[in-house]
A and B are shown apart, each in its own frame.
Chain A
Amino acid sequence: MRVIYASGSTQVEHLCDLLINDFRQTGMNLSQQVDATAQRLRGDIDVALAEKDTSFAERSAAMQGQTLAEQADAELTLVNAQAIHALKALKTANQDLVKALTEQQYNAADIENLGAQINMLATAIKTVSAR
């Protein structure tokens, strides 16, 4: 188990870093693309509402779009924060597991702590996968 986890832990660490980057709005990946869509929508709404010949129906649709863009932005910010928090917890749990395995110091407190870290890891995975 020590040998397997020693090699696997580096990959877990790298995967966590990649996922953290995915959930950063400036991380040049997933979140930035979602954010770009909301920015395009906001730009269109701004022009539509400023145009004098925009009909009432189009203005109404633009206002609804504005609300949707704001909701999407708020949700994205929240999901990103939750995911990054969970992934940082996952990294910590991963590092603690490696330390416990390599130092071979297993007492009751360590095992209890490891259990808590694994629970945290499970919570982190649930949070990320649920999104």
Chain B
Amino acid sequence: MAIGDDLHNLASSLLKLMHATDSIQEKIALRRQLTAVLEETERIIGVNIDTASAEYAAATRGMAGASAAINAALEDLSKVAATIETVAKTIDLLSKLAAQAGLI
């Protein structure tokens, strides 16, 4: 799957989880993470990405893990807090990828 699909799916999944949780704190945290994912997406748009790089592999692995965590949280909302931690780590990986892509 292309990284554009992964990023789009991650942002869409975050929105679904926002709608699903009743906790305002979790909604706000997820909204911040949605902003971060969309900002990293904008940084990655239009630049050449080295798909063979370690950063790319880590980011795509991170997004797969984050999507799985979000899906699990959608089934069991007690997992939202842990999912926010997982997504935060993924955003760090996306940030590293965006920084690396900008150097090419």
- Residues of chain A at the chain B interface (Cβ within 8 Å): 24-29, 32-33, 35-36, 39-40, 42-44, 46-47, 50-52
Among the 9-residue stretches B11-19, B51-59, B71-79, B86-94, the one with 4 or more Cβ atoms under 8 Å from chain A is B11-19
Considering the complex, which residues of chain B in the window 39-91 have a beta carbon less than 8 Å from any beta carbon of chain A?
41-42, 44-46
Distance A47 CA – B29 CA, assembled complex (angstroms): 10
Q: Is the interface of A mostly helix, strand, loop or mixed?
A: helix
A40 to B11, CA, bound (A): 10
Contact size range, B: 20 to 34
Chain A CB count within 10 A is highest, among B8, B15, B19, B24, for B8
Q: Are A25 and B35 in contact (CB under 8 A)?
A: no
| CB pairs A–B below 8 angstroms (21 shown) | A24-B4, A26-B4, A27-B4, A28-B3, A28-B7, A28-B41, A28-B44, A32-B41, A35-B8, A36-B11, A39-B34, A39-B38, A43-B14, A43-B34, A43-B35, A44-B31, A46-B18, A46-B27, A46-B31, A47-B18, A47-B27
